[in-house]
Structure 1
């Protein structure tokens, strides 16, 4: 029997299989509100057969967006728009639903990738960016404003407030974004955090603010909702954040009630040197998995079903996230089921689409 298609208990949540659709930014919101594009995009993914679908990075305040077109959860309007989206996904999809709460920090206020991805000017909807230290992302990016303690207090409360809204919306899972060079990762890395107060310096001090954000969110999230985190296990830069430090971070998070850890890497600096190959981040997931007892989500150019199966069967990860492969083919789990001799839940309207002689699709029960 395929391990990839076996059920998995993630905290209080029972997943139909171990395929995760990870957060993938769409840059298609209107003032933080989900749009028609989100209904089309997530509608397909919710009915893809994956066990878990996590919505894209969702900003906890307007300043925390990556672009002026990011999804948000900071107001009644943004909450109502997500409520309408979730009603559609629950009515027609089978995947458990999660949301990733995020703050972009110095990587905020940029244009969408198809518009060049550069910093957005005020006339393009841009805003002054913030960070642990006044160090820009690259030579062309603006110097961020260094966060004061009162600024940090507000951001911590914004994460907590967004978590309250996510719980009220009925999400099955909440993921805190602490990866890819965004704000919480900026605090963790010595390459972006050179503060001389209690929030910088030693690894323990650099972890203090992200851990305090996690604690604030943890207080708002009942045990019936799974709370996890996404991390970059390494900056891929000598002297930066690394697997050893991330392993300590993982244990500290687990002690505070974190239920899973989603292991990615990089994103802090354009100086990163990443050896790209299919499954290139799975060894990182395996290292973090050996350092803690939490379930681990592995990711990283996984497009081949056999590689996803091997990742789980070999113990490198407990679940596998398929991102760009799912955007290229939203029925990727169908392909994987056919290759691995398994089956997935599909919408009734698609059950007759299976080629003759195959039985990979089943009705939701």
Structure 2
């Protein structure tokens, strides 16, 4: 059969060999707390490229030391990070996958020594540290850090950049009225709450001409928070700014009960795709080839992102191909066992 999952997809000026994307997942494995690539990263990411994934998006990579989720996060805040990232990119590309990196700042969800930053001085929960409300100067410095991170990503050779605006981290905190109580130009109206992300996107595009993705949490799961309707508007603004695809996740801005079931976030990606007229990626409890193919065949999203399923099965593309009755090319070293 002809499976859309294994059709090429062009993302701006980059062609992916299939529609399978490895979603960014933190490895917490930079054990010297210097944000540098270690052997675990080389093994972890390259094995999924051997397994046939079309695009591998590297885990949330901090644009400032203060923006790490944990002290063990990968970093891109210093030119000293470029060498290791460049080596990692080369290893992945050698095995036929395209490479992406998620630029991130943890905001109030950083678990670090010292002050942590957020739009407003509101902690994530009762157990976590109260963040320091960012000054306009802090905001401008952080936007510059995202731009510099993009420059380093370009120098390292990544094909794709994704801006992390989801899961309750800094940019998501600016977007939602639950975490943004500012009264200046970065708070209040939807346009003002979007301003930080707008300036990050504009800044990155000054020096990056490749595919640009944004990951969002399209539902806060709170009566006073944001829902998919709000992200339809944000999606239209992102398209106007030249964003190529929105990677649609949900939740994690505030503690909340989230009803989880297979494909529970796909409807969010579908709504934004059709109502914002922008390509989307679907993610969240997508585990089988049949499930992924249904999403693509019914034009509910343009790419399928897998996270935990690729931790369980680095060769999931082969598993999905067998399930769908599709023959895919094996690494030549594995042909006798494929």
1:211 aligns with 2:195: no
CA RMSD of aligned residues (A): 1.0
Does the 8 Å contact 1:312/1:319 carry over to 2? yes
Residues 196-233 of structure 1: CA deviation (Å, up to 9, x unaligned)? 111111111111111111111111102xx111111111
Mapped contact 1:10–1:295 kept (Cα < 8 A)? no
Partner residue, 2:223: 238
Task: Confirm whether residue 190 of structure 1 aligns to residue 173 of structure 2.
Answer: no
1:96 to 2:98 alignment: yes
1:189-338, aligned counterparts within 5 Å? Answer: 189-222=176-209, 225-270=210-255, 272-338=256-322
Inter-partner Cα distance in structure 1 for 2:36 and 2:330: 28
Q: Which runs of 5+ in 1 are unaligned?
A: 110-119, 121-125, 355-365
- Give structure 2 stretches of 5+ with no counterpart: none
Report the secondary structure of 2:4's partner residue.
Answer: coil
Task: Tell whether 2:145 aligns with 1:154.
Answer: no
Q: Normalising by the residue count of structure 1, what TM-score does the alignment of the two structures yield?
A: 0.90
2:291 aligned counterpart, secondary structure? helix
Helix, strand or coil at the partner of 1:344: coil
Q: C-alpha separation between the residues in 2 aligned to 1:293 and 1:96?
A: 25
Check the 8 A contact 1:21/1:326 in 2, yes or no: yes
User: Against the structure 1 CA distance between its residues 100 and 345, is the aligned structure 2 distance closer, same or farther, given a 3 Å change threshold?
Assistant: farther
1:85 has 2:88 as partner: yes
Aligned equivalents of 1:154, 1:345: Cα separation in 2: 46
Indicate the larger mover: 343-352 or 298-307: 343-352
Deviations along 1:224-269, whole A, 9 cap, x unmatched?
A: x111111111111111011111111111111011011100000101
How many residues align structurally? 335
Describe the SS at the equivalent of 1:134. Answer: coil
- CA deviation map 1:307-345 (0-9, x unaligned): 111011111111100110000110011000001122334
Shift of 1:75: 1.1
Are residue 172 (structure 1) and residue 172 (structure 2) matched?
no
Which residue of structure 2 aligns with residue 142 of structure 1?
129
8 Å contact kept, 1:131–1:146? yes
| Cα distance in 1 between the residues matched to 2:311 and 2:99 | 17
Q: Give the distance between the partners of 2:200 and 2:253, measured in 1 at CA.
A: 19
Paired with 2:78 and 2:109, the residues of 1 have a C-alpha distance of 22
The separation in 2 between residues aligned to 1:170 and 1:343, in whole angstroms, is: 30
1:53 paired with 2:56, answer yes
Match of 1:123 in 2: none
| Contact 2:92 2:98 survives alignment (8 Å) | no
Checking the alignment, whether the CA contact within 8 Å between 2:82 and 2:155 is kept in structure 1 is no
Q: Residue 103 of structure 2: SS of its match in structure 1?
A: strand
Alignment partner for residue 347 of structure 1, among 312, 331, 334? 331
